[in-house]
Amino acid sequence: MKIVIAGLGIIGGSLAKAIKKYTDSYVYGMNRSPEPLRQAMECGAIDEIGGTEALRQADVLILGIYPEAAVEFVRRHAGDINKDCVVIDTAGIKSEICPQLAALAEEHGFSYVGFHPMAGKEKNGFGVSEADLFQDASAILIPGMAPHAAVERIAGLCRKIGFGRVVYSTPEEHDRMISFSSQLPHVIACAYVFSPNCPKHKGFSAGSYRDVSRVASINAPLWSELFIENKKPLVQEINTMIDNLAQIRDGIEKGDREELASLLLRAKLIKEALGE
Amino acid sequence: MKIVIAGLGIIGGSLAKAIKKYTDSYVYGMNRSPEPLRQAMECGAIDEIGGTEALRQADVLILGIYPEAAVEFVRRHAGDINKDCVVIDTAGIKSEICPQLAALAEEHGFSYVGFHPMAGKEKNGFGVSEADLFQDASAILIPGMAPHAAVERIAGLCRKIGFGRVVYSTPEEHDRMISFSSQLPHVIACAYVFSPNCPKHKGFSAGSYRDVSRVASINAPLWSELFIENKKPLVQEINTMIDNLAQIRDGIEKGDREELASLLLRAKLIKEALGE
């Protein structure tokens, strides 16, 4: 296949490396700034720097850029995209993005499948991308109205490059689940390090500090866009979290050890029932 | 040295294994139930099952049991403890425990140093103990009124068995810092998994879900004791956390992307300034 990747950050760069490592596809890279293109050519993550001609031949176009920029990119290049191409975005929110990209696809005759690779790091950029970032991760696909063959082309590619499972969803379910499983942990990490005691933690901390604070090293422009575009479910999750913290706090203040233990035991049972 | 370890759970068991691996001390084990003693004898984590006679000869007595049980143990055996012995507890809270153990030490002529090894797992019991649990971890010591030589005996032992640093503190500072660095992450993990969306997370989650929820698999009886005995600083940390979550939520609801990004950037800078 001929694959164009627009945006060679950690996600686009890792997809490029994974595709070159695990498939025999030909990969074109596109990027606003030239440095990631140079690095990607140098390490073999892409075969060629792409442009209009690459879009005309592409079997798959991957948008490795921020959500709104992805819509803008497709709008600008829609006329050049191969009619047989399947366009996929990699955005962390879907309700705002999928309908716009699906409409552009319908208008111009190519296919569009929403895609969210559930992997990442607390660092950004092509420099931290890696071929095996997606090993055993979930690939969420939002098929929408895309033809079966288009969806299968993407699902097959995901399996080849190491994803552990392909999950099919809708924009609404995706955004509701992501608000809990990914956005809320980022909000929690930021709120946590705002404690006045945080700067003094050294010598008094271990794994539980490290884990809860890890993603506080956040890409602020990206996540502020993701949070605001997923406002409704995320605000609901934050409010639920505040209520649950208040419930545990009230149990501590009341001081009934057995009552508090049975509340904490409920958390243990939920966590252990999930097995991960 | 002759070392008695009372309580062979994950902490007492790991200390036994570390002491046997890294020193030539002779280790006695004591435990309410016989099974951990049998396992510890079998794998060489202890040399002998201890009792009154062992306490009479001990250079160090390590209390690997719950805070209140530790005080009870020392009260019951105080008359048998060697006058040259240094008693250390391993409790996760200190203001409630240190004064009681220091008073017993003064009354009976042995020494007492508060000790909190900053290491653990989300599982409990001798079965998950390991000799290298403390590699590079902090050992917090609360010297109080203990003689210099007694404190040095413990600090030296900590360095020998792999701790990366020894930090000296007071019961009050310890409890304030621990409420942030260890107790609050456990409260957060439990509150997090109470979300109605938690049981449906599979396929929609990755590292940030895993990290924030890890310690929800909590030892409920132990932590309910620790939380309630450290009520004041912990409730304050939870309230700070709730305020910080509400601040981020308000920023999301307001929808000003630049304002939210600058709030999140503050978290990133705090986290990165700490370097870990």
The reported pLDDT for the residue numbered A93 is 94
How large is the ipTM?
0.88
A6 and A62 Cβ atoms separated by less than 8 Å:
yes
> Residue B18 and residue B31: Cα distance in Å, rounded?
18
* Residue A109 binned pLDDT confidence (cut-offs 50, 70, 90): very high
Q: Which of B193, B221, B20, B109 lies closest to A276 in space, CA to CA? A: B193
CA distance B126 to chain A (A): 19
The reported pLDDT for the residue numbered A22 is 98
Please list the ranges in chain B whose pLDDT falls under 50.
none
What is this structure's pTM?
Answer: 0.88
Radius of gyration, CA atoms only, chain A: 21
The reported pLDDT for the residue numbered B124 is 87
Of the residues A136, A186, A245, the best mutation for testing chain B's interface (the one with the most B CB atoms within 10 Å of its CB) is A245
Structure token digits, residue B80:
């048998």
AA letter at A179? S
Q: What percent of chain A has pLDDT over 90?
A: 96
pLDDT digits (tens, 9 = 90+) for A231-261: 999 999 999 999 999 999 999 999 999 999 9
In whole angstroms, what separates CA B151 from the centre of its chain? 18
Scan residues 117-176 of A and list those with Cβ closer than 8 Å to B.
118-120, 137-138, 140, 165, 167, 169, 174, 176
Tell me the DSSP string of chain B. Answer: -EEEEE--SHHHHHHHHHHHHH---EEEEE-SSHHHHHHHHHTTS-SEE--HHHHHH-SEEEE-S-HHHHHHHHHHHGGGS-TT-EEEE--S--TTTHHHHHHHHHHHT-EEEEEEE----SS-SGGG--TTTTTT-EEEEE-TT--HHHHHHHHHHHHHTT-SEEEE--HHHHHHHHIIIIIHHHHHHHHHHTSTTGGG-TTS--HHHHHHHGGGS--HHHHHHHHHHTHHHHHHHHHHHHHHHHHHHHHHHHT-HHHHHHHHHHHHHHHHHHT-
* Residue A276 binned pLDDT confidence (cut-offs 50, 70, 90): low
The reported pLDDT for the residue numbered A157 is 98
- Other C-beta atoms closer than 10 Å to the C-beta of B156 total 13
* Residue A121 binned pLDDT confidence (cut-offs 50, 70, 90): confident
The reported pLDDT for the residue numbered A122 is 78
> Residue A240 and residue A63: Cα distance in Å, rounded?
33
User: Rounded mean pLDDT of A134-156?
Assistant: 96
Chain A positions touching B215 (Cβ under 8 A) are 208, 211
> Residue B119 and residue B158: Cα distance in Å, rounded?
13
Q: Does B188 touch chain A (CB under 8 A)?
A: yes
Nearest residue in B to A264, CA atom: B220
The reported pLDDT for the residue numbered A182 is 95
Nearest to A241 among B176, B191, B265 (CB): B191
CA distance A218 to chain B (A): 5
Q: Left (φ > 0), alpha (ψ -120 to 50) or beta: where does A124 sit?
A: beta
Nearest to A245 among B120, B176, B238 (CB): B238
CA distance A206 to chain B (A): 6
Question: Do the chains contact at A208 and B191, CB–CB below 8 Å?
Answer: no
Q: Which of B54, B55, B88 lies closest to B70 in space, CA to CA? A: B88
- Does an H or E element contain A112, and which? strand A111-117
Scan residues 216-275 of B and list those with Cβ closer than 8 Å to A.
216-218, 220-221, 223-225, 227-228, 231, 234-235, 237-242, 244-249, 252-253, 255, 257-258, 260-268, 270-274
The reported pLDDT for the residue numbered B70 is 96
Question: Do the chains contact at B270 and A244, CB–CB below 8 Å?
Answer: no
Structure token digits, residue B183:
């107790």
* Residue A275 binned pLDDT confidence (cut-offs 50, 70, 90): confident
Q: What percent of chain A has pLDDT over 70?
A: 100
Q: Is pLDDT of A273 > 90?
A: yes
In whole angstroms, what separates CA A147 from the centre of its chain? 23
Structure token digits, residue A211:
């884990």
Taking the alpha carbons at both ends of chain B, their separation in whole angstroms is 36
Which distant-in-sequence residues (6+ apart) come within 8 Å of B273 by Cβ? A199
Q: How far is CA A6 from CA A39, A86, A156, in A?
A: 15, 14, 20
CA distance B102 to chain A (A): 22
pLDDT digits (tens, 9 = 90+) for A198-219: 999 999 998 999 999 999 999 9
Name A168's bridge partners.
Answer: A141
The reported pLDDT for the residue numbered B59 is 98
Nearest residue in B to A92, CA atom: B204
